[in-house]
Amino acid sequence: MNSTPEQLRFASIPGHTVRADFAGGGLSSDLGPVLLRGVDLQIGLTERLNAALVDARHPSYITHSQRDLLTQRIYQIGCGYEDGNDSNCLRHDPMFKLGAGRLPFDADTALASAATMSRFGHAVSSKDIYRFGKALSSNSSPASPARRAIWCSTWTTRRTPPTAGNRWRFTTTITAAPAICH
């Protein structure tokens, strides 16, 4: 008796059905982004965080939307890739692309690079951090009040000493990871 299912189904992306089977084909070592996408679509966390942050970038220079950058960063952290430099390897990973709602094998739909993620992280203002915290603390799930996602966040502030007449700099790093409670 074989107890292994022949196919697994996941949240779809527009115009495509997402299934996993055991026949090989395009491979990835990580299924986490697809699972996180399913949870995120139910609780709307990325949408709340996106609404909380102000995108001050000039529209003509934008390749990746703020929502796409948030999605990529949150899913990477949720899958254990806490360093932003992991973005260089994961930007072409089919499961991370699928989790971000992109076609997994399309070369033109690469996710953001580590440099882009670094600029995105350093552009966040203190007001953005405050609104981000409010969005994280509003733990409401439109899908089901009995099933809530708790996002554990760590905020680290580092003071950099002045150099060549510059003032002290403060750098804030935000790390968030999901935990599902039933």
Predicted confidence (pLDDT) per residue in 50-64, tens digit: 998 888 889 898 999
The helix or strand, by DSSP H or E, that contains position 172, with its residue range, turns out to be strand 169-181
Q: Which residues contact 162 (CB under 8 A, 6 or more apart)?
A: 168, 169
Lowest mean pLDDT among 107-111, 115-119, 160-164: 160-164
Residue 43 has pLDDT above 50, yes or no: yes
- % pLDDT > 90, the chain: 12
Q: What is the pLDDT of residue 158?
A: 55
- Give exposure, 110-128, as e/b (b: 16+ Cβ within 10 Å): ebbbbebbeebeeebeeeb
Q: Whole-prediction pTM value?
A: 0.65
What confidence tens digit (pLDDT) does each residue in 133-176 have?
888 776 554 444 444 444 454 445 455 566 666 665 555 555 55
Residue 173 burial by Cβ neighbours in a 10 Å radius (0-12, 13-18, 19+)? middle
